[in-house]
Structure 1
Amino acid sequence: FFVFFALGISSCVDNENFKIVQAPDSFKIETTSGAVIVLNDANLTNTALFLSWKSTTASAGATYTIEVAKTGTDFATPTLLGTTTTTNFSMTVGELNTFLLEVMNLNAEEATSLDIRVSTGGITTQIIQVIITPFRVEFRQFFLVGSFTNWTPAEALPMTRVDFNIFEITVDLVAGAEFKFLPTNTSFDGDWGQDPNNAGTLIETGDQNLSGLNAGKYKITIDLNTFIVTVDEIIPPAKMYLVGAGVPTAGWGWDTPVVLDLVEDGVFRATTTFANDAFRFFAVNGDWGSGTNFPFYLNAGYTIDANLIDAQDGDNNFKFIGTPGEYTITLDNTNKTITLTAPGPKYMVGAGVPDAGWNWNSPIVATQISAGVWRATTSFINDTFRFFDVNGDWGSGTNFPYYLNAGYTIDANFEDALDGDNNFRFIGTPGVYTITLDSNTKTITLTTPAPKYLVGAGVPDAGWSWDSPIVLAQVNDGVWRGSTNFINDTFRFFDVNGDWGSGTNFPYYLNAGYTIDANFEDALDGDNNFRFIGTPGVYTITLDTNAKTIVLTQS
C-alpha cells in the first residue's frame, strides 16, 4: 500500500512538495503517480510509482532511461531507476521500497525529496520532484545456509531474533566455510549475501557468499535495519570462575574464586563446597563485568541442574537449593548443560598399573579422602595409564597434558607418554606406591606406602623388641601383607616403628567389625594382644582395612 497525492501537469508548477521544470513540448513527462508517496507493506504488488511521457522526436523503438537523484544535487551522480522502450514506466510498492533502501541507501520511515527525469537520444524531459518515504521491512525469521548445511535450505540453521530485524547465531565453522542468509528455509528466493564492493554490507542482488574465515566458533549478526553483517570469533576462556556466598570458599570476593578448569573443548569443571546461597559464573578472574547469570544460560537453551534456581535477587544470580556439601559442577557449553554431581572416587586404568590393565574389570580406585584429594596405593610398572572420573567411561579420562596445562606439579616419576593419547607413563622403580591427586594444591605425588609392624613372642623373628620387627608392606590401598614364622604365643600390630603407643590389639579390630582368622584369639593377658593358636610355621598374614579382614595363609 502507498499514499500519494496526484497532481495535474502544466507548463510549470512550483510548490513546497512538487515541481515540474519547463521542458520542450516535443519530449515531456505528462503523468505521474503523485508528488508525495508514503510506502507501507500492506500491498507490495500495488503500483507505487507511475510516469508517462510524450515524445514527438524520438525514433520508433527508442530506449528511454529513467534516472533519479536527491533533490539539490543537479543529477551530479544520478541513479538508474530503469529503462523501457515504451512511453511509460512503473514500479510496485515492493520494488520501489527495495530500490530506495538497498540501491539509494535511504533511511526507512524518513521522507526524502528526489528528482526524476527521462532521457533518450541526448534529450531530457523536465525534472519531476517527488517526496518519498520508504517503509522499514520487518523480517520475522532468518536462516544461515552454507557449505556446512550442504547449501540446502531445508538444512539451514535458524537464527535468533534479538531485536527488530536483528538476528544472530553462534556456530562452529571449519576453515574455508562459506555462507549466506535466507528469509525462509524453503528456497533461495530473497537470499542475502555480502556486497562484493563493500565488505560487511548486506545486499540482495549481486551479492557474494561470506567466506575466508579460519576454523573456530563465531557469532554472526545481521542487522536488516542498517544492512550490516558482523562476524565475531568467540575465543573460549581457558578457565571459568565461581564467586558468591553459595560457594563459601570464594564468597563475594576475588581473593579465592572457585576455578573451573577446561577439561575438554567447551567443558569446564570444578569440585567445591556449596551452601544454600547465591553465586555467579565469570569468564575473567577479577572482572565483575564478565559475569553470566541464571537467565543468561536459561535463555540460551541450557538444561540446568535441579539443585540450582534463579535467585531473583536483583542480579538473577544462581542459587543452590540442594543439600549443602561438596559437589562437582560441570559447565558444558557444547551440550548446553550445567550439572552437579556428588564427588566420588577417581579411577586408574592402564598397563602402568598392572593390577588394572587396560580394561574396566578391576580399575584402581582412588578414594576421595578429603575435599579435592584422592589417594590410592597400587603397583606401578614402567608403562602407561590414565585417570578417569567415571568407572567404565573411557570418555571421562584426563591425561598428562590436562593436568600440566591446569598448572599441576606432577611427580618426577611420571612423564607424558607421547603415545597419541598423551597418557601418563611411570618411569620410576617398579613397585608399590601411594599416589595422591590433590586438586587444591594442584599436585600429583607418589610416596612409598607406610608399612605396619608385628612385635611379640608369637612372631619369634621379632620378639618383644624393636630390633627386628616384622614388616607388613602396603600392597594395595588399605591392604598390608607380610610373611613370617608364627608360634603359639602373643603379638600385636603397630603403626609406627619403635612406638609402643601406636599398637592395636585384638579387641580393637574385633570391635571395628573385622573378621579375624580362626588361628588367632584374644590372649586375655592384660593387654589383650593377639595369640596364635594354630600349627606353628611360616604363614603370610594379610590385614585388609577395606574388607575388614585379618587372614593367614600357609606360605
Structure 2
Amino acid sequence: MDENFPSNPGLTLSWDVATYTVPTEIKYKIEVSKDEAFTTPYTLGTVAGSVRATTFSVEQMNQAAQGINLEPNVSAKMYIRVSSYLGTVSENLVTKSNVTSLMITPYVLKYPDFYLVGGATYVGWTAENAQILHKKDNLSYIYTYLENNQPFRFLGQQSWNPINYSVDKEGTRANYRYFKQLSGNLLQEGDENMKFTGDTGIYKIVIDATKNIQSLNITASPVLGYDFPEVYLVGTINGWDAANAIAMTKVSSGKFEYTMKLDNGAAFKVLGQKDWKELEWGNISGSGNSGFLGPKGDNGEIKFDGGGNTYKITVDIKAGVYTIVQQ
C-alpha cells in the first residue's frame, strides 16, 4: 500500500452469484481477517443487487489491515471471503464463499486530530478556540475541564466545517457519526452533540481512533479541582527543593505564570503545595515538552532547552495545557 496515493485502486474483487430459492434481493458482505477461521472478521464493504464485483481504494485496504491488527510496514497475509444474505439483516440465510488470501504491507495510518468545543468545555462554543487533544498514534487525550449537564462535540479543525465528530447512532447527522463506544457519563444530545453527565471538574478524555474501535472514554482526574490559590515551580531551577518551590502568579481561575531564565537541560514540575503531596502536575504521560499537563500518577518532568534565555512559563490547569514562550 502506497500512502502517497490513498485514492488509487488497491484491490478489485469479483465473485459468482449466490443462489437462493427465496425470490428476494441478495446482498453481499466482503470480510477480511487475520486468520483463515475468521475469528475476528472485519467488514471491508457491502454491495447489493446484481453487483458481483467491487474495488477498494488503497486507503480502504490500509484501514482494513489496521482493523485486523496487521503491523505497519510488515508484509502479512490477509484472508478474504464474501458472504451473501437476504433482506436487511446480514445474519439472514447467510452463504459464505471460499476463502482466498493476499499478501499486504500496510503503511502507518495518519489518525485524525480532534478539537473539543461546546458548552461543557473550557472554550465554550467558539470554534476558532476549539481545544486540540494531545495525539500519540491512535490515541488522543487531554486532562481538561468539563461542565455537568452541558453539550459538546469534537471538530476536525478550528472551524465548524468540514469535519465534526459525534455519536455514531441513528438520530445524529449522518456526516457527524463517529464514536461507536461511549463511557457511561455521556449521552446523545440532539442530532449534533453529546452531553456530559458527570460532576463539573477536570477529566481525562481519551479517544481511540482505531478503525474498528472509535471509542470516547471520560474519567475523573485524580485532581478534580483547578481553582487553587497558589501553585509553585520546582525542578532544576531550584535544585528540586519542594520546600522552597517558586510561587507562580495567578492570572485567572486555574491559570498561573512566571517569567525566568531557563538553561539547556531545564526540567521542572508544578506543585499545589510546597511538598510532594497530591497536588502535582507535569508533562502528560511522561517526561517531555508536549504542552499538555498531567496530574500526579500520569506525568513526567517538563523538559526544555532554554539556552540561558528568559521565558514566560504559563500553566493552565483548567485547560490542561502549558506554554513556555521566550520574552
TM-score bucket (shorter structure) = 0.5 to 0.7
Residue in structure 2 matched with residue 46 of structure 1 by the alignment: 8
The whole-number CA distance in structure 2 between the counterparts of 1:260 and 1:157 is 26
Residue in structure 1 matched with residue 200 of structure 2 by the alignment: 215
Q: For 1:196, which of 178, 181, 194 is the aligned residue?
A: 181
Structure 1 208/69 Cα, relative in aligned 2: closer, same or farther at 3 Å? farther
Residue in structure 2 matched with residue 68 of structure 1 by the alignment: 31
The whole-number CA distance in structure 1 between the counterparts of 2:78 and 2:236 is 62
For the 8 Å contact 1:267–1:332, the answer to whether it is kept is yes
Aligned length in residues: 265
Q: How far is the alpha carbon of 1:218 from its aligned partner?
A: 3.9
How big is the alpha-carbon RMSD for the aligned residues of Structure 1 and Structure 2?
Answer: 5.5
For the 8 Å contact 1:48–1:90, the answer to whether it is kept is yes
Structure 1 69/217 Cα, relative in aligned 2: closer, same or farther at 3 Å? same
Q: How far is the alpha carbon of 1:162 from its aligned partner?
A: 5.1
The whole-number CA distance in structure 2 between the counterparts of 1:153 and 1:300 is 21
Structure 1 299/163 Cα, relative in aligned 2: closer, same or farther at 3 Å? closer
For the 8 Å contact 2:152–2:193, the answer to whether it is kept is no
For the 8 Å contact 2:150–2:196, the answer to whether it is kept is yes
Q: Could you give the per-residue CA deviations for residues 400-430 of structure 1, whole angstroms, max 9, x where no partner exists?
A: xxxxxxxxxxxxxxxxxxxxxxxxxxxxxxx
Structure 1: segments with no counterpart, 5+ residues: 1-38, 201-206, 302-313, 322-329, 339-555
Question: Residue type matched to 2:16 in 1?
Answer: K
Alignment of 1:222-241 (within 5 A): 222=207, 224=209, 229=216, 231=218, 233=221, 234=223, 235-236=225-226, 239-241=230-232
Q: Could you give the per-residue CA deviations for residues 340-388 of structure 1, whole angstroms, max 9, x where no partner exists?
A: xxxxxxxxxxxxxxxxxxxxxxxxxxxxxxxxxxxxxxxxxxxxxxxxx
Alignment of 1:32-431 (within 5 A): 39-55=1-17, 57=19, 62-70=25-33, 72=35, 74-75=37-38, 78-80=41-43, 81-85=45-49, 86-101=51-66, 104=68, 108-109=72-73, 111-119=76-84, 123-139=95-111, 141-148=113-120, 154-155=127-128, 157-159=130-132, 163-164=136-137, 167-169=140-142, 171-184=144-157, 185-187=159-161, 189=163, 191=165, 193-196=178-181, 209=194, 211-222=196-207, 224=209, 229=216, 231=218, 233=221, 234=223, 235-236=225-226, 239-241=230-232, 253-254=241-242, 265-266=253-254, 282-283=270-271, 284-287=273-276, 290=280, 300=291, 333=316
For the 8 Å contact 2:151–2:193, the answer to whether it is kept is no
**Greater Cα radius of gyration, structure 1 or 2:** 1
Question: Residue type matched to 1:144 in 2?
Answer: L
Specify the SS of the correspondent of 1:285: coil
Q: Could you give the per-residue CA deviations for residues 449-493 of structure 1, whole angstroms, max 9, x where no partner exists?
A: xxxxxxxxxxxxxxxxxxxxxxxxxxxxxxxxxxxxxxxxxxxxx
Question: Residue type matched to 1:240 in 2?
Answer: V
User: If the length of structure 1 is used for normalisation, what is the TM-score?
Assistant: 0.35
The whole-number CA distance in structure 1 between the counterparts of 2:267 and 2:109 is 42
Structure 1 147/125 Cα, relative in aligned 2: closer, same or farther at 3 Å? same
Residue in structure 2 matched with residue 457 of structure 1 by the alignment: none
Residue in structure 1 matched with residue 90 of structure 2 by the alignment: none
Percent identity of paired positions between Structure 1 and Structure 2:
19
Q: Could you give the per-residue CA deviations for residues 219-276 of structure 1, whole angstroms, max 9, x where no partner exists?
A: 54545468565545354366434568988xxx76455556679897326699xxx9xx
Structure 1 145/300 Cα, relative in aligned 2: closer, same or farther at 3 Å? same
Structure 2: segments with no counterpart, 5+ residues: 86-92, 167-177, 186-191, 293-302
Q: Could you give the per-residue CA deviations for residues 29-83 of structure 1, whole angstroms, max 9, x where no partner exists?
A: xxxxxxxxxx333333333232223348557874142342536453466554423
Structure 1 64/143 Cα, relative in aligned 2: closer, same or farther at 3 Å? same
Question: Residue type matched to 1:43 in 2?
Answer: F
Residue in structure 2 matched with residue 11 of structure 1 by the alignment: none
Q: How far is the alpha carbon of 1:174 from its aligned partner?
A: 1.8
The whole-number CA distance in structure 2 between the counterparts of 1:42 and 1:169 is 31
Alignment of 1:440-519 (within 5 A): none
Q: Could you give the per-residue CA deviations for residues 137-163 of structure 1, whole angstroms, max 9, x where no partner exists?
A: 314743223345899794460415554
For the 8 Å contact 1:71–1:115, the answer to whether it is kept is no
Specify the SS of the correspondent of 1:209: strand
The whole-number CA distance in structure 2 between the counterparts of 1:210 and 1:255 is 42
The whole-number CA distance in structure 2 between the counterparts of 1:267 and 1:190 is 29
Structure 1 177/68 Cα, relative in aligned 2: closer, same or farther at 3 Å? same
User: If the length of structure 2 is used for normalisation, what is the TM-score?
Assistant: 0.54
For the 8 Å contact 1:67–1:78, the answer to whether it is kept is no
